[in-house]
Structure 1
Amino acid sequence: MGNERVFAGIGGIVFLAVGIGIGVLIGWYSGPDRVNTSMENALSEEESEIQQRLLDLIDNTQIDENLRFLTSEPHVAGRPQQYVLAEWVRDKFTEYGFDSSEIVTYNVLLSYPSEVDGEESVVQHLVYNDTEDGYQVEYESQTSEPPLDETGKDKDVLPPFNAYSANGTVEGELVYANYARVEDFFALEDLGISVQDKIVIARYGKIYRGDKGKFAAQFGAKGLILFSDPADYTVLGEPVYPDGLYLPPTGSQRGSCLDGSGDPLTPGYPAVESAYRYPENGSTYLGLPTIPIHPIPSVNAKYFLSLMEGDEVIEEWRGGIEGLTYKYGPGFAAPSNESLVRMRISTSNQRTDAWNVIGTIRGSVEPDRYVILGNHRDAWAFGAIDPSSGTAAMMEVARAFGVLLKEGWRPRRTVMFGSWGAEEYGLIGSNEWVEEYSKNLDNRAVAYLNIDIAVSGTYTPDFGSTPNLYNTIRAATKLVPDPNPDEFENGAVTTVYDRWSLRDSGEDEPGIHDLGSGSDYAPFLQVVGVSAVDYTFVHDKATIPISPYPMYHSVYETYELVKNFYDPDFYYHQASSRLFAEMLRDLADSKIIPLNCAVYADRIGDFFTALKEGETGQKMVNDGDLSFDFMEDAVENLKVKADAFENYIANTLDKSDILAVREVNDRLMNFERSFIDPLGLPGRPTIRHVVFAPSSRDSYSSDKFAGIIDTMFDIDNNTDPEKWGKVEQQLAAVTYALASAAHSLELDMA
C-alpha cells in the first residue's frame, strides 16, 4: 500500500511536469511576441535585397570552370561518361545544400553506330567495271572527323551518324532535294523528277532532320544523305575552325531522326520497369525512320554532287560549295552515268538507361508549388555549346541559390533543378519524367524555364515563351547588367534589355518568339500545359543567316571553340545565368505569381486575326463554308475576362488575405492548362496544346491553332470526303478551349 502511494506521487509529479512543459510551449508559440512563422512567411513580401544579392553571386569564373570540366570527354546519352556527369550534378546539388538530390533512371531505346572495324557507316560511289564482277567502290565518305584542337585528340568519339536510322545497305541513283522539305519534293515533282527508289541528297537546315527523313520516305526515296552546306554554316571569306568559328569542310552534323518525343517504345507513358513496351519491329507508332539516313561533311558532298546529271538547279537551291554547279539529277553524268551510290549504314537500336538528376529546394510557404529550371546534359560529342554552355550556367545558378540557403533565405515556392538525359535523341529524359509525374505537375507546376544553350552568339538575347511570361522576361532583362556595354557608344546600353531593345526590330517592345519543339520545354507545355521560357544569347541572324550556329552537333564544338571565339571571359554566360536566376527567383518568391493572362489573351487575339484574314482562313470560309463567329466570340470574351482578372489583382485583391492570394495564384498557374486537349492533335495524341504546337512539317517551329493548320494542309489534294468535317471539328475544339480559359478567370466563380 505504501509503494502504491509512492508510485502515485511520482506519477502525479510527472504529469504535472509534462503539463507545465506543454503550457510553456503553448505560451511560447502563441504569445503576442511569438507570431506563427508560417503565417508570417505567408504574409511577407519578397525581400528586395535578395534580388541584387543573387545577381552578385553569379560568378563568370565558376561557369568557365564548369564548362571546362563538362566538355573534357564526350558524353553521349546512355554512355558511361553520362552517368559520371549525372553523379557530379547530384553531388553538387547536395554540396550546395539542396533539400534533396537524386538520380532518376529510365530504361529507353537509344541508337548507336557500329564501332567494329569494317562495319563503319559510309556513303560510297560505285563504278561499273566491265573486266570484273559488277560494281567497284571508287570513293567513300569519311568515317570520322580529324581533330583540330587539344580536346578532340585521342578521345573516344562516336563516328558521325543519325540516330534511329534504318540499318542496312541501299543502292541507287542520286537526286538532289535542296533542304528535303515538303515543298522541295513538290518542286521536284513539278519538274517531272521522281525520287521513287532513288537516294536523296539534301542540305541540313530550315527544318528538323527527322522531318527530312520522314518526307523523303513518304515520297518514295530509299535513302537520305544529309550534308552541312557552306552556305548554311559558314560566311564567305571568314576563316573556318580552328582559325575561326565556322564549320570546316570536314565537319559533320550528328543528330536524331526520331519522329516524335520521348522513349519510342513507351509513347504516352513513362519508361519505368512496369511499363508496356511496343515491339521495336512491327509497330508504325514508334516514329522510327524507315529508310537509312546518314550525315556527311561538305568535302564529301562536293564529290558526289560534282558528278550529278540533270539541269542546273534554280538559284534558291544553290549552296555555297566552291566550284560546284548544283544539279537535280537523277544519277550521274558521263563518264559516270553507269555508276551508283551505295549507303551502307551500320546502326543499332539498344535498350539502355537514361539518367535525370532532380535537385529540390523546398518552399517556405507553398512547398506544393514548383518552379522548375532545366537543362539537358547529353551531347553528341563534347557539346561545349549544346548543351554544356547551358549546363555550366545552370549549375552556377544552383550554386548561387545554395549560398542564399546557407545565409538563411528560402524561396516562397519550391524550386526544382532538372538535369535531363537523352534530350538529343528526342527529349527523352524530360519527357519520361513529365509523363511519370504528370498528375503532380498538373496540380503543382507554376512554370518551366529552359536553358538548353546559354550562349551561341554574342549579339542579342533570344527568347521563346508563352505570352503570360513576357513581362517576367522583360523585367529580368532590365535588371541584368549588359555583358559588354563598351560595345556601344555614349553609354547607350547598360542592361541586357537595352541591348535587346536596340537590336530588335520590334516597334514597341523587343520581340519574343513562339514555342515549337526541339528542346525540353516541349513536354512540359504539350503534355501538361505548364507555361515555359526558352532562351539563349545568339549571333546576328539578319546578317549571318546560320541556324542555330556554325559548329552545331559536330566534334569541333569544344571548350577551345567557346574560349577562343565566343566568350573568352564568360561574361555572356554570366549574363545568361543571371537572367535565369532572376526569373527563377521572381516566379518562386513573388507573392503574386508574375504570369499575365491579359497579355496572353491579347496575343491569342493577334493569332486569331492572322488565321481568319490569312489564306487558310479565307479558304475555310469560301471553300469549306465554315464560320469563325463562335471562335471570334470566344476570343473577345477571353480578352474581356483576362483584363478584368488582371484589374482585380492590381486594384481589388486584398494581398493580406492569404486564401485570396492562393486562389488568384492557382488561377494564374492553371490558365495554361485550359489549352490542353486530352485527345491531342490529329494524328499526334501526345501533342495537346491547341494554341501552340510544333509544326507537323517542321518540329522545330511553331504553328498557332495547329489542329486547324494540320487538317487544312494541302486540302485541295485531299480526297477524304470528311476533310471539311475534320477541319470544323478542330475549329470547335479550339473554340471550346478558349471558352474554358475564360471561365477559369471568372471572378464570380469560386
Structure 2
Amino acid sequence: MSGNAGDDNMESSVHLAVPIPFGGEEQPLLMDGRSAGGVSRHRSNTISSIMSGYEVVKEYFDKKKFVYLLLASLTVYCAFLAAFAPRTSLVRDIRRINSSKITEAEVYRIFLDTMHEHNGAQDHLRNYTHQGHNIGDQNSLEYTVNQFKQMGFEPKLEKYYPWINKPVHTGVTLYRKEEIAFEATMMEDCVQDDPTSCSKDRIQGYHAYSSNGEVRAQYVFCNYGTLPDYLKLLDAGIDIEDKIHIIRIGPISQGLQVRNAELYGASGVITYTDPHDDGTVTAKHGFLTYPEGPARNPSSIKRGSVAFLTDFNGDPTTPGYPSKYPAMERLSPAGKIPTIPSVPMSAKEVAPLLRELNGYGVQIGNAGDVEGFDYSTGPSPDGVEILLQNEQDYQTVEITNVVVEIPGIFQEYDIIIGNHRDSWGVGGAGVSNSGSAILLETARGFSQLLKRGWKPFKPIKLISWDGGSPGMLGSAEHAEEHAQIIKKHSLAYLSLDSAISGTQFHCEMNPLLYEIIRKAAKYTSFKMEDWTLFDEWRSISNLTGEDLSVETDLAPFQYHLGIPSSSCRFQNNGSGDPILASNSNYDTFTWMETQLDPDYKMHNTLAVLTGLTTLMLSEKELISFRTQPYFAKIQTHFGKYHKRLISIFPYDRQLLRLAKTVSDLLQSLETSESQLFDDENALLNSQLIQDYPGWLFYKKISLYIRLLRANSKLKQLDQLFLTKRGLEDRPWMKHSLFAPDTQLGLQETILPSINDALQDYDREKAIEWLVMLLNQFHNVKSLME
C-alpha cells in the first residue's frame, strides 16, 4: 500500500523539460499542468469547467421564470422612467426627435434681431433698377442668383420659353388734311435729376401682346372704355365704328379696354393716363411735377399688357401646360389677345390729339386735366386723322425663375414667397423691384436662422419670377408644370408684387390667412418705430382684409390651383402721397429715395411682416387657418346676390328655393360649423403644447393622429371649390368662389359665376351654379364634421 502511495507521490513530482523558444530558459512543468514557476496553465480545465457549468444551468434552468423575471425588470424600468422622466409635449418631442436646435421663441427673436440690425433693401433696389431689365434680362438674373448664394442657399434655375413680343417701333402721327400736325415721340422726357430716366436702355411706349398693324383713321374719345361708357356713346348716337379709340387708363385693365374697343368696332386703340385720376396731387392743385415735386410728370407713359388676363395667365399659346421648349406644339392665341393694334401714350403727347375733338360729339365722363381738352367724344372732324403704327417682333424668349428651397422637418406642406424681377423699360422700383428687394431681405433673415441650426417645421420656398410684367409668365408656367405637386403640398402663396408705391398699408388676402397676418402685424414695428404695423393697420381701415388685385403673380396660385394667397403692400393714400408713374421711365430708385421711402423703412417693415407671416405658418404644427372669416365673407356676398335673385326672378320658385337652400347651408357653415371646427382646432393646438408624463404616451399618439387629420382638412378646404371644367368661358380659372372680375379685371369678384349670371339676367346659368355651390358647400360641411 505504502509503496503504491510512494509511487503516486513520485509521479506527481516528476518534472519534464519543456523547451522554451527564442532562447529562453527551460521551465519544468508539473504533471498536474502547473509550471514550476507558478504560472497557471488551466485553459483546458477552464473550458471543461464552463461546459460543466452550462450543463448544470441547462439542467436546472426554468425558461418561464426567466421570461417573467425579464418582463418584471422591464416593467420596473419603464415605471421608473415614467415616474421620474421629465414631462414633455408632443411638439417638443417632435422637435427633439428631429434634432431641432433652437426653440420657436428663439426663431422669432433671431429673425427680428437680424432684420433690425441691418437693412439691405437700398443696395438691392439700386442694383436691380440702375438699368433696364425687361423679360429675360441676364444681369438681374445673375444678381439674384449671386445674392442667394452669398446667403448660403443653393438656388435652382427653372427655364421656360413663352411666346412674347419685343417692341420694334410704335408711332402716332396726327394729320390735318394731308399735312402732319403732330408726331409723338412715344418716349418720356429725359430729366437730369433722375439719371435713370435718360438711360440708353429706354424703350418706346408699347403694349405686351398688342397686335401688329398700321391704321390711319378718324378717332373718338371713349372715356375709360368700360361697357357703360360704350353704351353712353351709342345712346348719344356717336359714330365709333372703324375709328381709333382713345381711352384713359383707370378702373379697368388695359386688356379689357382693348377688348371692349374691339367689340365695338375700333380699328385701333390709344391708352393714356389722365393726371386728374391721381386725385389731389396734381399740377392743377398746385403741386410740382416729378422730379421737382410729387405730382406725375406729364410725359410719363403707362406701359402694360393687353392680353385678356381675366381669362388666363401665362403663355397664350400653351394654355394649361408649360412652355418648356422653344420648339414645341403651340396653339393659336386667338381669343386670348387682341386682333387690333394698340399703343400707350403720355398725357403730354395725347393732348394735341384730344384738343382736336373739342366741340364735337358730346362730353363724357368726369372732367380731366389734359390741358386744353373739354372731354368731348368726337369723332374728329373730316380730314383730321391719326396714323397709328405698331410693329412688334413676336418670338419665343427664354425666361428663368430662380427657386430657393428651405427643407423642413415635415415635407408635407410648404409656404411660397414670390415676386417677379422684370420690369417695363428702365427702373421698376415700385413695380416691382421693391418686392424683389424685400424678397432678398426676407431670405437674409432666414439665412441667419439656418446658420444658427434652425430647421423649419414646414418647408419654405423663395421664388424670383421672370416674365411677370407681360402676364405672369414665369409664375403661370411654373404653376402649370407643377400643378399636382403644388395642389398637394403648397399651403399658401405670399406675393410681394408692387410692394411699395405709397405710404398707406393695405393687405389683400384669402380670408383663411386673415388671423395669421393680423398676428404677424402685432409683432412688426411700423417703420422701426414704437408703433406696430397692427396699430397702423387698425388706424387706417380697422384691420380690413381686402379683395385681391388679380394682375399679379398670385393669380395662378389662387385662381388656378386654389392655394390661399395674400398681397400686403404700401400704396398711395390718395391724399398727399407722391404719385408713382408705374411702368414708366420715372419709376426709379431716385423717385423712391427722394419722394417716398428715403430710408427704406417701409421696405424693412414689409420684410419683417413677410418673414413673420411665413414663420407663423411654418413653425406651427397645426396649420393656422381660421375658417369662420372665410365663410363670413362668402355669406356676406351671397346675401347681396340672394336679394338680387329675388328682385330679378321674383316668381321663379325653383330658382328661389334653390337659392334659399344655399343661403341656409352657408349660414350654417358661417355660424356653427366653422365656429365649432375652429374651436376644436384651437383646443387641439393647446393640447399639442401641453406637457404629459411619459406613461401617457398613448395620448400623444392620439394627438398626432388628430394633428395629421386636422391639417389634411385645412389644406383641402380652399381646393374643394376648384372645378375641373373651370368657369364659364374661362376654363383656366378654376375657383368658384374667387376669380377676376369680368367687367373691370383689376380686382377679384366673390362668387363670380353667380355675379355673371345676374349681370346677364341668365336664369339657367344661375341655377347651374347654385347647384354647383350647393354640392361644394355640402362637401365642405362633410369635411369639417
Q: TM-score, normalised by structure 1?
A: 0.85
Counterpart selection for 1:284 from 311, 327, 334: 334
Structure of greater Rg: 2
**Is the Cα contact below 8 Å between 2:170 and 2:390 reproduced in 1?**
yes
CA-CA distance at 1:597 after TM superposition: 1.1
Which one of 460, 471, 494 corresponds to residue 515 of structure 2? 471
Give the alignment partner of residue 378 of structure 1, picking from 407, 422, 425: 422
Q: Give the aligned partner of residue 677 of structure 2.
A: 645
**1:312/1:326 contact within 8 Å kept:** no
Q: Distance in 2 between matches of 1:674 and 1:244?
A: 50
1:51 aligned onto 2:95:
no
- The equivalent of 1:425 in structure 2 is 470
Q: How many residues align?
A: 671
Q: CA separation of 1:137/1:274 partners in 2, compared to 1, >3 Å: closer, same or farther?
A: closer
Q: CA-to-partner distance for each residue in 1:340-389, whole Å, 9 max, x for gaps?
A: 1111111122211121111000002x123110101111100210111110
The alignment-based identity, stated in percent, is 27
Match of 1:599 in 2: 629
Inter-partner Cα distance in structure 2 for 1:735 and 1:707: 13
Identify the match of residue 40 of structure 1 among 89, 92, 96.
96
Partner SS state of residue 726, structure 1: helix
Task: Report the Cα distance in structure 1 between the residues aligned to 2:740 and 2:551, rounded to whole angstroms.
Answer: 9
CA contact (8 A) 1:691 1:705 kept: yes
Q: Residues 75-114 of structure 1 correspond to what in structure 2 (within 5 A)? A: 75-78=133-136, 82-98=137-153, 100-114=154-168
**Conserved 8 A contact 1:151-1:558:** yes
Q: Give the unaligned 5+ runs of structure 1.
A: 1-29, 115-119, 129-134, 486-492, 716-722
Which residue in the other structure is 2:214 paired with? 169
Match runs of 1:357-436 below 5 Å: 357-364=402-409, 366-381=410-425, 382-436=427-481
For the 8 Å contact 2:435–2:499, the answer to whether it is kept is yes
Alpha-carbon spacing, 1:696–1:707, altered in 2? closer, same or farther (3 Å)? same
Once residues 103 and 708 of structure 2 are traced to their aligned partners in structure 1, the CA distance between those partners, rounded to angstroms, is 16
Aligned residue runs from structure 1 range 475-624, under 5 A: 475-483=519-527, 485=529, 494-504=531-541, 509-541=542-574, 543=575, 549-613=579-643, 615=644, 618-622=647-651
Deviations 1:248-280 (A, max 9, x none): 111111111011311111001111139953344
CA distance in 1, matches of 2:562, 2:105: 31
Q: Residues 64 and 570 of structure 1 are in contact (CA less than 8 Å); yes or no, is this contact kept in structure 2?
A: yes
Q: 1:617, CA displacement in angstroms?
A: 5.3
User: What is the CA-CA distance between 1:724 and the residue it aligns to?
Assistant: 2.1
The equivalent of 2:323 in structure 1 is 271
Aligned to 2:66: none
Please list the CA deviations of residues 67-101 of structure 1 after superposition, one character each: whole Å capped at 9, or x if unmatched: 111111111112xxx22222322232233223x41
Q: Is the 8 A contact 2:131 2:199 kept in 1?
A: no
Instruction: Determine whether 1:340 maps to 2:385.
Output: yes
Alignment-derived partner of residue 308 in structure 2: 259
Does 2:188 correspond to 1:138?
A: no
Q: Does 1:248 align with 2:304?
A: no
Would you say the 8 A contact 1:105–1:355 is kept in 2? yes
Structure 2 SS opposite 1:413 = coil
Quote the offset at 1:176 in angstroms: 0.6
Q: 2:259 aligns with which of 214, 217, 221?
A: 214
1:677 aligns with 723
TM-score, with structure 2 as normaliser: 0.82
- Does residue 1:692 correspond to 2:750, yes or no? no
Q: Could you tell which deviates more after superposition, 644-653 or 394-403?
A: 644-653
RMSD over aligned CA atoms reads 2.5
SS in 2 for 1:69: helix
How many Å separate the matches in 1 of 2:637 and 2:481? 33
* Counterpart check, 1:730 vs 2:785: no
Instruction: Flag the 1:270–1:570 CA change in 2: closer, same or farther, 3 A.
Output: same
CA gap 1:624/1:232 in 2 versus in 1, 3 angstroms: farther
Please identify, of 595-604 and 416-425, the stretch whose mean Cα deviation from structure 2 is larger.
595-604
Displacement, 1:338? 1.9
**When you count helix as a share of all residues, which structure comes out higher?**
2
Shift of 1:207: 1.1
Unaligned 5+ residue runs, structure 2?
A: 1-77, 689-699
2:772 matched to 1:741? Answer: no
* Distance in 2 separating the partners of 1:91 and 1:621: 64
Determine if the alignment matches structure 1 residue 661 to structure 2 residue 707. yes
Q: CA deviation at 1:501?
A: 1.1
2:499 equivalent among 443, 454, 463: 454
CA deviation after TM superposition for structure 1 residue 708, in Å: 1.6
CA distance in 2, matches of 1:605, 1:712: 17
What SS class does the counterpart of residue 703 from structure 1 fall into?
A: strand
**CA deviation string 1:43-90 (max 9, x = no partner):** 989611321321221256311111111111111112xxx222223222
Q: Quick check: 617-626 or 313-322, which moved more? A: 617-626
Q: What CA distance in whole angstroms lies between the structure 2 residues aligned with 1:379 and 1:538?
A: 18
AA at the equivalent of 2:308: D
Aligned partner of residue 369 in structure 2, secondary structure: coil
- Out of 323, 333, 339, which is 2:372 matched to? 323
For 1:123, the equivalent position in structure 2 comes to 172
Query: How far does residue 544 in structure 1 lie from its aligned partner after superposition?
Result: 5.9
SS across alignment from 1:358: strand
For residue 397 of structure 2, give the secondary structure of its aligned residue in structure 1: strand
3-state SS of the aligned residue for 1:84?
A: helix
Partners in 1 of 2:413 and 2:752 — Cα distance?
A: 30
- Give, in whole Å, the separation in 2 of the partners of 1:406 and 1:383: 33
Quote the Cα distance in structure 1 between the aligned partners of 2:326 and 2:267: 37
State which of 70, 91, 95 in structure 1 corresponds to 2:128.
Answer: 70
What is the one-letter code of the residue matched to 2:784?
L
Query: 1:686 and 1:318 mapped to 2: Cα distance?
Result: 38
- Deviation of 1:322 (Å): 3.0
